[in-house]
Amino acid sequence: MAANLAANLRSYDVPIIGIYGRILAGQAEGNDAGLGTALALMQLVATHSEWNPRLELAIARVEQRLGQTAAARERIARVRDRNGDLEAAQRLLSPLED
């Protein structure tokens, strides 16, 4: 799905794709394939739109759920570094630093 979108991205409303990825992630409880699709969609949007800390944190949450803790930790740290002491980033990062 994400590969098809990436090939024809100009035909789509990129922010809507990001919203769909976030909705899909919320509905994919216990479904790693669904989480993987959600992650791919959100990453696609992140690479083709302005930097958005909320989207980055949503991506980090999915990475955490998929067990990609190193990637999540790096992403959260980037959000924190670019936004100062962003409370949401701090809350996500704390359990990963233990």
Residues 6 or more apart whose Cβ sits within 8 Å of residue 90: 80
Task: Please give the model's pTM, rounded to 2 decimal places.
Answer: 0.81
In the chain, what are the domains? Answer: 2-96 (1.25.40)
Three-state DSSP class for residue 69: helix
Tens-of-pLDDT digits for all 98 residues of the chain? 667 777 877 788 888 888 999 999 999 988 899 999 999 999 999 988 888 888 998 999 999 999 999 999 999 888 888 876 667 766 776 666 65
Query: Cβ(89)–Cβ(80) under 8 Å?
Result: yes
Instruction: Write the burial class of residue 59 (CB in 10 Å: 0-12 exposed, 13-18 middle, 19+ buried).
Output: buried
